[in-house]
Structure 1
């Protein structure tokens, strides 16, 4: 019985490997500012499908949430529609959520252009919800390797330090999420992995209105 959870996680990893290798579309954004170790992006309005997972572990929450999303894109929806894989898979930390102030995560899948205006309705048992991520600015720090529990905490702290030493020191905005981790690769890619930590920022004081208007 003790081996069952590991076998389950292995199966989910294999699913991630299969679908992430076929990932094509990604949410559109514009880079509005660059520093040596982070950049500021503006993402356009976009529709995502989201899975909330109540768990303390970032890694486990991401795998379990993506497993539900995987079922959705494979046709577990009221339309029986197959949905093409996109990247990245984004996991956002919800601070002090749930009983006893435990953490929760929201795992998000970007819907391809074909389904942006009319996403398929997930089967109720998947407990998924469409989410309109409105146009917003984020500070982005890239990092390589595997996005482990310890590493995402370290990278989020590194981004916070970089922001505190920059003109963006007081620009972080209060949202329902502390930070998000974007993963672009399957769990079985060993080298050249691409991950990012995102933090919402208020760019109104730094980006001129003409540039925002043309985005």
Structure 2
């Protein structure tokens, strides 16, 4: 019976990512700062200040494939595939924003994103052109968030997004979903693919409100 041969470069990449992500799991990673302004049993609303992310656009039907493809390009970027040859620290979460029906046959377009550390927020290293990455500057805004465990898969992300939509429809945030971002929803993943227990994921949906109005009217906690 024949054995399947795995290429040496692929093995090297696999173990490099494994080592880096295991080290990353052992220490706190930098994340975008937010303030919780509304909290219920199954969702919360956060206020995020201005931030800059590096974004990989991906045309793909599968959320899982798109996330892997986009993250692979982003991983090359943070490992030094930029015009400064700068190493950029890994951050969390890996965010995949979804635009349903954007492609042929009603397939989806995806934007896989990594938050840039504070050190690079003002002047992100320019990615190598072949990576097809671009910085994404966020203005201050509110995001409704639903947590879920396990792995984020093609067969569960839509269900989780629908649960968040139902929760919002029953709250004072009904009819406040923002369309300014152009994304239907995003999936935030906080763990490496090599962690199997205690995984944390979130569905993100932009909602109306800014620091001066509803978004900060019922402050619960700050992070």
TM over 0.5: yes
- The answer to whether the Cα contact below 8 Å between 2:58 and 2:70 also exists between their aligned partners in 1 is yes
Measured after TM superposition, the shift of residue 61 of structure 1 is 0.4
User: Whole-Å Cα distance in 2 between the matches of residues 71 and 129 of structure 1?
Assistant: 14
Q: Which moved more, 1:11-20 or 1:129-138?
A: 11-20
CA distance in 1, matches of 2:194, 2:111: 23
- Whole-angstrom distance in 2 between the partners of 1:159 and 1:8: 41
Please state whether the residue corresponding to 2:155 is helix, strand or coil.
helix
Q: Is the 8 A contact 1:13 1:187 kept in 2?
A: no
Q: Does 1:97 align with 2:105?
A: no
Q: Distance in 1 between matches of 2:202 and 2:214?
A: 22
For residues 132-152 of structure 1, the C-alpha deviation after alignment (integer angstroms, 9 at most, x for no partner) is 011110100000000011111
Q: Helix, strand or coil for the counterpart of 2:130?
A: helix
Which residues of 2 match residues 131-210 of structure 1 at below 5 A?
131-174=136-179, 175-203=181-209, 206-207=214-215
CA deviation string 1:104-124 (max 9, x = no partner): 100000000111001101000
* DSSP 3-state at the match of 1:125: helix
Of stretches 98-107 and 151-160 in structure 1, the one that deviates more from structure 2 is 98-107
SS in 1 for 2:156: helix
Evaluate the alpha carbon distance shift between residue 94 and residue 168 of structure 1 in structure 2; reply closer, same or farther with a 3 A threshold: same
> Aligned partners of 1:14 and 1:171: how far apart in 2?
44
Worse overlay, 98-107 or 141-150 = 98-107
List 4+ stretches of structure 1 deviating above 4 A: 7-16, 208-211
Cα gap change, 1:14 to 1:142, in 2 (>3 Å)? farther
Question: Taking structure 1 as reference, are residues 102 and 24 closer, same or farther at Cα in structure 2, changes over 3 Å only?
Answer: same
TM-score normalized by structure 1? 0.88
Map of 1:129 onto structure 2: 134
Unaligned runs of 5+ in 2: none
Figure out how many residues of one structure are paired with residues of the other and give that number. Answer: 210
- Could you tell me how far apart the structure 2 residues matched to 1:158 and 1:12 are? 37
SS of 2:36's equivalent in the other structure is strand
Map 1:20-169 → 2, pairs under 5 A: 20-21=21-22, 22=24, 24-169=29-174
- In structure 2, what is the Cα distance between the partners aligned to 1:87 and 1:143? 16
- Tell me, which stretches of 5 or more residues in structure 1 are unaligned? none
